Amino acid sequence: MKRIGLLTSGGDCQALNAAMRGVVKGLSANLEELEVYGFHNGYKGLIYGDYRLLTSKDFSGILTKGGTILGSSRQPFKLMQVPDENGLDKVAAMKHTYHKLNLDCLVILGGNGTQKTANLLREEGLNILHLPKTIDNDIYGTDVTFGFQSAIDIATDVIDCIHTTADSHNRIFIVEVMGHKVGWLTLYAGVASGADIILLPEIPYDIKKITDAIDRRKKAGNGFTILAVAEGAISKEDAKLSKKEYKEKLAKRKYPSVSYEVAAEIEKITGAEVRVTVPGHMQRGGSPCPYDRVLCTRLGAAAAKAIIDNDYGYMIGMVDGKTKRVPLKDVAGKLKMVEPDCQMIKEAKRIGISFGD
């Protein structure tokens, strides 16, 4: 008999259900006896013992279903070792729930913060496997995370739609793309949709470089300009500030986000009309694209094989087109950033895309 636990933590994305399905199908097809416990709302369910025994019916028909059948919540890693409002030791409580159910393994699906807590539980002696989920694609040690391609498709579609109205009205449009501290999603969606200017957190921008790029397009007979702007984009001036100084500046900023600040600066310098579109959580919603369905099926099947092998303490990543067991201790807490001089950036610049630098 194998007893495993499943939980999904952090922000949702399109392919969480597909990944869980891959794990359970990979186990049930190869084991005679299996019990699967699902924890509700991420680590919160593990902490407070909120779980249910899942059956094969729970995993039927969910390959194409977005979100997560278990629910999710954000439980910051920095607070995991801080008692809750009632004095409960969260780590001890999670270990208690794990041992109470006599689990052989806990499969955790989530992003960077989730991964850090997964590694903490590994260090506490629990059998842990982590599956890398995030639309940001910023998890170190895997070439791609599930949810990334689905979000690219949505963000690209948004920018595609903006093109026609921008062209019709000869306007400058900014589309703000998710990504937190990294620019993978903005980079891929921007290139895929033919954005003229792409602003990433990893490449601080100079507003004069942006307006110069807009001016060049106008002189070439292009009446409109599309900017794909990462939500974490930062100016060269702000990049020089300390973390504390930058936080203080953000607290006083009169604009709701960096895109509106860039829009205001462009209007001030050029006198042109600028519109901002923020698709927001649309990028995390809907059904997973076919690529993510395949990716999650493969990652889930690889996780199942690790469980059958009784081999724990890994993130199941995708490296050079193959699934791989990557030691959690080697990757937890690390961010995979866009390298400013990477080949893709160079190629994008070669076809005339400006990065504001």
Q: In angstroms, rounded to a whole number, what is the distance separating the alpha carbons of residues 230 and 227?
A: 10
Alpha carbon 353 to its chain's center: 24
Q: Which residues of 201-217 are buried (b: 16+ CB within 10 A; e: fewer)?
A: bbbbbebeebbebbeeb
Instruction: Please check whether residue 342 lies inside any domain of the structure.
Output: no
Q: How confident is the model at residue 238 (pLDDT cuts 50, 70, 90)?
A: confident
Shared-domain flag, residues 199 and 131: no
- Cα angle 85, 86, 89 (rounded to 5 degrees) comes to 95
162: containing domain:
150-284
Q: In angstroms, rounded to a whole number, what is the distance separating the alpha carbons of residues 235 and 249?
A: 12
Cβ-based neighbour number of residue 163 at 10 Å: 15
Q: What's the half-sphere exposure (Cβ side, CA atoms, 13 Å) at 97? A: 25
83 dihedral zone (left: phi>0; alpha: psi -120 to 50; beta): beta
Domain boundary among 268, 284, 300: 284
Shared-domain flag, residues 156 and 135: no
Question: From the candidates 12, 58, 136, 292, which is the catalytic residue?
Answer: 136
Q: In angstroms, rounded to a whole number, what is the distance separating the alpha carbons of residues 239 and 147?
A: 29
The per-residue pLDDT for 279 is 94
Shared-domain flag, residues 84 and 15: yes
Shared-domain flag, residues 57 and 189: no
Shared-domain flag, residues 63 and 104: yes
Q: 3-class DSSP state for residue 200? A: strand
Is 157 catalytic? The answer is no
Instruction: Please check whether residue 118 lies inside any domain of the structure.
Output: yes
| 124-161 pLDDT tens trace | 999 999 999 999 999 999 999 999 999 999 999 999 99
Q: In angstroms, rounded to a whole number, what is the distance separating the alpha carbons of residues 19 and 258?
A: 34
Instruction: Please check whether residue 351 lies inside any domain of the structure.
Output: no
**Structural domain tally of the chain?**
2
Q: Are 105 and 128 in contact (CB under 8 A)?
A: yes
- State the pTM of this model: 0.94
| 87-131 pLDDT tens trace | 999 999 999 999 999 999 999 999 999 999 999 999 999 999 999
Q: How confident is the model at residue 337 (pLDDT cuts 50, 70, 90)?
A: very high
Q: In angstroms, rounded to a whole number, what is the distance separating the alpha carbons of residues 46 and 355?
A: 43
Q: 3-class DSSP state for residue 332? A: coil
Q: In angstroms, rounded to a whole number, what is the distance separating the alpha carbons of residues 10 and 32?
A: 33
Shared-domain flag, residues 194 and 315: no
Instruction: Please check whether residue 337 lies inside any domain of the structure.
Output: no
Domain boundary among 284, 307, 341: 284
